Amino acid sequence: MPHPDLALPRLIAHRGLSARAPENTLAAVRAAHDAGIDWVELDVQLLGDDTPVIWHDRDLKRCSDGRGRLADLTLAQLQHLDAGGWFDPAFAGEPMATLEEMLVLLAALGMGANLELKVNRGHAPEALAEAVVPRVLEALPAERRLLSSFDATALAHSRRLAPAEALALGLLFDRVPRDWQRRCRALEAFSVHAKWKRLSEGRARAIKAAGLALVCYTANDPARFAPRWDWGVDAVISDDPGVFNVAGLGG
């Protein structure tokens, strides 16, 4: 099946360079760029007013000075949110990034992005896809955009909004199931994203034999991960990709 001329890098920064800056923020993406990382993985979900924002959790508690579920909040209510001080005082005042703000930054830096669609309880997966896909298609070239999700409905609607040659899709799995190939065919998927510790060599080689890209998350131990490069893994998502280069184990 046709896909964008997309060549994934070996190393992708998890939620931006989250080992060095507050995750899923503009600062984390700038830190990744400054470290020489070309691609970042980021989470995108909807607020209660349907604004797409870059955020992982369903609530604010862990990564900000705020409280409440994202599905109950509006962008106006988050105007003064501090999404950086929890990580380090040097990042105090870092805002929650909207998808549009993040896409502007990615485009300006010439970076690629694997955006994970996170479906909030109370929001339809289709609504998230409709908020994200058109913005991504407009902001980034086909070779620098990849949408992934655990949510098959969100991915299926994303595919209805954009053909395979325009938008690469990746299926996220905690453990790759037996019917992975059927699921990938149904979505005209570009890639499988697997938790690295739960990926077997046989499954990895089968995924590659089927012509799919194979991405592993979230690996921070280059020595333990090293054998998987020989299985055909294309890219690894890491909190600190630099440790792979330092160890000489970046593939």
Residues acting as catalytic residues:
14, 56
* Residue 29 parent element (H or E): helix 26-34
Q: State how far the alpha carbon of 169 is from the alpha carbons of 22, 87, 155, 242, in Å.
A: 26, 31, 7, 26
Q: State how far the alpha carbon of 132 is from the alpha carbons of 61, 66, 95, in Å.
A: 24, 25, 20
Contacts by 89-95 with C-beta closer than 8 Å and gap 24+? 91/21, 91/22, 91/25, 91/27, 94/22, 94/25, 94/26, 94/27, 95/25, 95/26
Give yes or no for a contact between 192 and 169, defined as CB atoms under 8 angstroms apart. Answer: no
- Using CB atoms within 10 A of its CB, is residue 9 exposed (0-12), middle (13-18) or buried (19+)? middle
- Report helix, strand or coil for 246: helix
- Report helix, strand or coil for 247: coil
The β-bridge relationship of strands 213-217 and 112-117 is: unpaired
Q: What are the structure tokens assigned to 245, written together?
A: 């280069």
